[in-house]
């Protein structure tokens, strides 16, 4: 409860009187199960939405200009092999990923026979990240001109 001066400028002793503060109408209502469930579910839903936003911002396919730049970095033989396989809905990036996985398996994979996924490729640095499952990743290095693995 706040207090207000009764006579701020007048003579004599100053007396204080209580000021009625207004409370929002929902503060006087009881917390029902429905209100409790909404109060708990709303922050959870917002946090899940915020976590998935960066994942939705990333695209799964490379642009045509980026694919042309990757092809321009390759030597003639590798470019012909990649271009020949990048038909019928296969993208250049997907073909490069498949070639990298095949070269990794041929060089002696750490876990042979397990399904692999290309998680990320830094073509300029010649680095790719392979994933076995949600928790196991492996970084491999490759030559961007030939797509062969390097030690």
The Cα–Cα gap between 143 and 121 comes to 12
Residue 20's φ and ψ, nearest 5 degrees, are: -80, 120
Q: Give tens-digit pLDDT for 35-91.
A: 788 888 888 877 777 665 555 555 556 678 888 888 888 899 999 999 898 888 888
The pLDDT, as a whole number, for residue 71 is 87
The pLDDT, as a whole number, for residue 51 is 65
The pLDDT, as a whole number, for residue 12 is 54
Percent of all residues in the chain with a pLDDT value above 70, rounded to a whole number: 75
Alpha-carbon torsion, ordered 53, 59, 65, 68, to 10 deg:
140
Angle at 85 between CA 79 and CA 86, to 5 degrees: 85
The Cα–Cα gap between 151 and 121 comes to 17
The pLDDT, as a whole number, for residue 63 is 78
What average pLDDT is seen over the chain?
78
């Amino acid at each position: 409860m706040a207090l207000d001066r009764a006579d701020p400028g007048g003579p004599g002793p100053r007396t204080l009187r209580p000021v009625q503060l207004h409370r929002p109408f929902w503060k006087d209502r009881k917390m029902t199960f429905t209100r409790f469930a909404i109060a708990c579910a709303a922050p959870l839903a917002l946090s899940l939405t915020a976590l998935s936003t960066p994942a939705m911002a990333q695209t799964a396919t490379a642009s045509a200009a980026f694919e042309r730049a990757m092809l321009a970095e390759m030597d003639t033989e590798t470019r012909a092999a990649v271009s020949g396989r990048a038909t019928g809905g296969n993208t250049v990036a997907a073909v490069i990923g498949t070639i990298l996985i095949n070269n990794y398996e041929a060089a002696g994979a750490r876990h042979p026979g397990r399904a692999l996924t290309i998680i990320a490729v830094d073509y300029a640095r010649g680095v790719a990240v392979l994933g076995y499952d949600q928790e196991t990743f492996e970084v491999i290095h490759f030559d961007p001109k030939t797509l062969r693995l390097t030690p």
